[in-house]
């Protein structure tokens, strides 16, 4: 048995099986399926082929180590994909300070059947250590080595050529890592990611103010005048913002076993402005990305979390602008202050105070899942609000409705769902618990005289139920979850409660990037000269258009995702040409935002 051929064959088969059963990647036609089969092979040949230049036991041990390393890389992606439907990036691996808090989530994602991904590695190790006589030990001639690498190189070019015919400008226009992996393979994707990481590091050093001027002209040309009736209507009032962990819009006004899932929020939207076409736009940074969108009206990065990778950049945040207008600013979150690098990033965003885990009385009784229960968190936070200078801006980050959605039986106000997905089943009781926590918090605000003098903003930070649970979601919603339906599931609730104004439901296509200008305008603070990609949600001039981080978009008439254009009303696939103008706009805005972050361009900004 030739160990190089055996290692390549085992890894090739294992990778393809992972594509089909763990990543659920399927070609849309015969050529794409052929690309899917082909794309791991060239990398594996080149990597394992280094052993061609070694002999005997040294070769065997090198190939074994290579095989084990690639297996670990593949399995890490499998585990990550199970929850986030995404692939690991280098910036994500740099977020090591988060790992200590991920224990319960990782345990939920690991299955005993995963041992099968390692059986071939164990077999090779056994042969190398105990039965080396069964492995071919002879050397390779120069022509054999040359032929081996010529074949590997030819496969690389064949793969890229075929991929380019299926996805033109694949490496320059694609924001979706799933599409990249389908076309160039998991391992080449990681090499490409390493190239992007190196490129990003160089961008700051080469940046200059001219790029910012060009971007500023673009954003100001698309500025929309605020609603004249609502501009400044909340001037001088407190701003209380609540991030609803993992809450998606499909739970609003829905019932489970005849009981409302969010009874308080259902009522609260009747006395607030409720936006039912509001989308999250987060990437790998999840909650931290939603915070970044809120504060800066910039898109997060497609790789990693801005809170980690660019926390030292210069920003001109909503928080800083509120401070300039006399606001005391604070963030409250009963978690480790270093999680998502918040203790550093909040300094860059100019928060006056961060109330973190050490500021709360945390016990075994008031803790579940990722940390302090929402009811206790809000209750203890009231004392901090009472002592703050007025007016204040506070941001609350809830925690109970966080994957893996754990809740003690005595805290369940609604029964679990029954489906093939334990994640979705547990989701409903934790959503219901957070709904109750919001209700009690608002009652406390009223008791303390804070309710009538404050704007309350509640918004979902990101999805809670990933694509891996589409079968169960289809069961709950009573329809199959197609790519079109998946985009609609990226809607998250947004409530804006203004004292003395009844509000109503607004069906305006919008996203988290629109929060900064909207809230500042309600407080009477102009943003016309600011560099931001969002638009006031109440503006009568606003366009019906929002971009997701992967390049998908939603407009008044179309939804675009995964390379397909859909009629928004019917969900029917139509000619891509209808979406082309919006595709270019989406690409432009994402690229401009990336340039600002990678180049730290706001250091050149003059207010």
Non-local (6+) Cβ contacts of 3 within 8 A are: 51, 59, 60, 63, 64, 124, 127, 128, 135, 136
Beta strands in 356-486 (DSSP E): 367-368, 371-372, 392-397, 454-460
Is the separation of the CB atoms in 93 and 334 below 8 Å?
Answer: no
Is the separation of the CB atoms in 244 and 434 below 8 Å?
Answer: yes
User: In angstroms, rounded to a whole number, what is the distance separating the alpha carbons of residues 150 and 309?
Assistant: 39
159, burial (CB in 10 Å: exposed 0-12, middle 13-18, buried 19+): buried
300 backbone φψ class: left, alpha, beta (φ>0; ψ -120 to 50): beta
Q: Which position among 71, 186, 262, 287 bears the catalytic label? A: 287
User: In angstroms, rounded to a whole number, what is the distance separating the alpha carbons of residues 542 and 534?
Assistant: 10
User: In angstroms, rounded to a whole number, what is the distance separating the alpha carbons of residues 410 and 414?
Assistant: 11
Nearest Cα residue to 322 out of 359, 289, 294 = 294
Nearest Cα residue to 458 out of 528, 500, 398 = 398
Beta strands in 446-557 (DSSP E): 454-460, 494-497, 504-506, 510-511, 545-547, 553-555
Residue whose structure tokens are 């082909």: 38
User: In angstroms, rounded to a whole number, what is the distance separating the alpha carbons of residues 419 and 163?
Assistant: 38
DSSP code at position 416: P
Residues forming a β-bridge with 22: none
Catalytic residue check, 287? yes
C-alpha angle with apex 474: 472 to 480, nearest 5 degrees? 140
DSSP code at position 226: P
Residues recognised as catalytic: 287
């Amino acid at each position: 048995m030739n160990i190089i051929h055996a290692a390549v064959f085992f890894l090739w088969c294992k990778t393809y099986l992972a594509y089909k059963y763990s990543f659920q990647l399927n070609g849309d036609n015969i050529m794409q399926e052929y690309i899917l089969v082909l794309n791991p092979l060239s990398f594996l040949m080149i990597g394992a082929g280094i052993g061609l230049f070694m002999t005997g036991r040294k070769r065997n041990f090198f190939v074994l180590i290579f095989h084990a390393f690639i297996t670990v890389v593949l399995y890490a992606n499998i585990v990550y994909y199970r929850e986030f439907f995404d692939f690991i990036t280098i910036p994500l691996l740099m977020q090591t300070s988060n790992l200590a808090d991920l224990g319960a989530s990782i345990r939920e994602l690991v299955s005993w059947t995963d041992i099968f991904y390692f059986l071939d590695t164990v077999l090779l190790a056994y042969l190398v250590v105990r039965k080396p006589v069964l492995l071919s030990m002879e050397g390779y001639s120069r022509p054999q080595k040359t032929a081996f690498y010529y074949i590997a190189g030819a496969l690389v070019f064949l793969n890229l050529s075929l991929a380019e015919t299926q996805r033109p400008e694949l490496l320059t226009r694609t924001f979706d890592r799933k599409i990249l992996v389908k076309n160039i393979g998991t391992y080449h994707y990681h090499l490409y990611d390493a190239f992007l990481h190196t490129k990003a590091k160089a961008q700051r050093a080469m940046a200059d103010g001219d790029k910012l001027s060009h971007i500023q002209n673009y954003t100001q040309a698309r500025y929309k005048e605020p609603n004249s009736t609502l501009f400044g209507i909340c001037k001088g009032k407190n701003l209380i913002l609540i991030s609803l962990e993992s809450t998606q819009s499909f739970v609003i006004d829905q019932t489970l076993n005849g009981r409302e899932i969010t009874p308080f929020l259902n009522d609260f939207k009747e006395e607030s402005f409720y936006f039912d076409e509001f989308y999250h736009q987060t990437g790998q940074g999840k909650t931290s990305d939603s915070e970044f969108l809120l504060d800066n009206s910039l898109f997060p990065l497609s790789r990693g979390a801005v809170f980690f990778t660019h926390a030292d950049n210069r920003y001109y945040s909503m928080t800083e602008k509120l401070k300039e207008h006399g606001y005391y600013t604070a963030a409250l979150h009963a978690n480790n202050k270093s999680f998502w690098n918040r203790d550093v990033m909040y300094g860059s965003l100019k928060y006056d105070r961060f109330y973190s885990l050490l500021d709360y009385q945390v016990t075994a009784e008031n803790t579940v899942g990722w940390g302090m229960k929402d009811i206790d968190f809000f209750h203890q936070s009231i004392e901090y609000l009472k002592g703050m200078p007025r007016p204040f801006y506070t941001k609350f980050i809830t925690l109970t409705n966080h994957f893996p959605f754990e809740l003690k039986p005595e805290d369940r106000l609604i029964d679990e769902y029954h489906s093939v997905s334990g994640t979705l089943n547990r989701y409903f009781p934790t959503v219901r618990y957070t709904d109750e926590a919001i209700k009690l918090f608002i009652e406390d605000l009223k008791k303390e005289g804070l309710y009538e003098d404050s704007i309350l903003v509640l918004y979902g930070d990101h999805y809670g139920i990933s694509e891996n649970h589409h079968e169960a979601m289809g069961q709950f919603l009573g329809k199959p979850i197609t790519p079109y339906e998946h985009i609609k599931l990226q809607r998250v609730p947004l409530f804006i409660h203004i004292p003395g104004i009844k509000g109503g439901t607004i069906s305006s296509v919008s996203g988290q990037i629109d929060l900064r200008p909207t809230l500042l305008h309600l407080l009477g603070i102009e943003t016309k000269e600011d560099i931001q990609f969002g638009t006031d949600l109440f503006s009568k001039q606003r366009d019906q258009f929002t971009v997701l981080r992967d390049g998908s978009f939603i407009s008044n008439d179309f939804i675009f995702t995964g390379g397909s254009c859909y009629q928004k009303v019917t969900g029917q696939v139509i000619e891509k040409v209808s979406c082309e103008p919006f595709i270019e706009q989406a690409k432009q805005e994402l690229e401009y935002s990336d340039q600002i972050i990678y180049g730290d361009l706001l250091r050149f900004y003059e207010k």
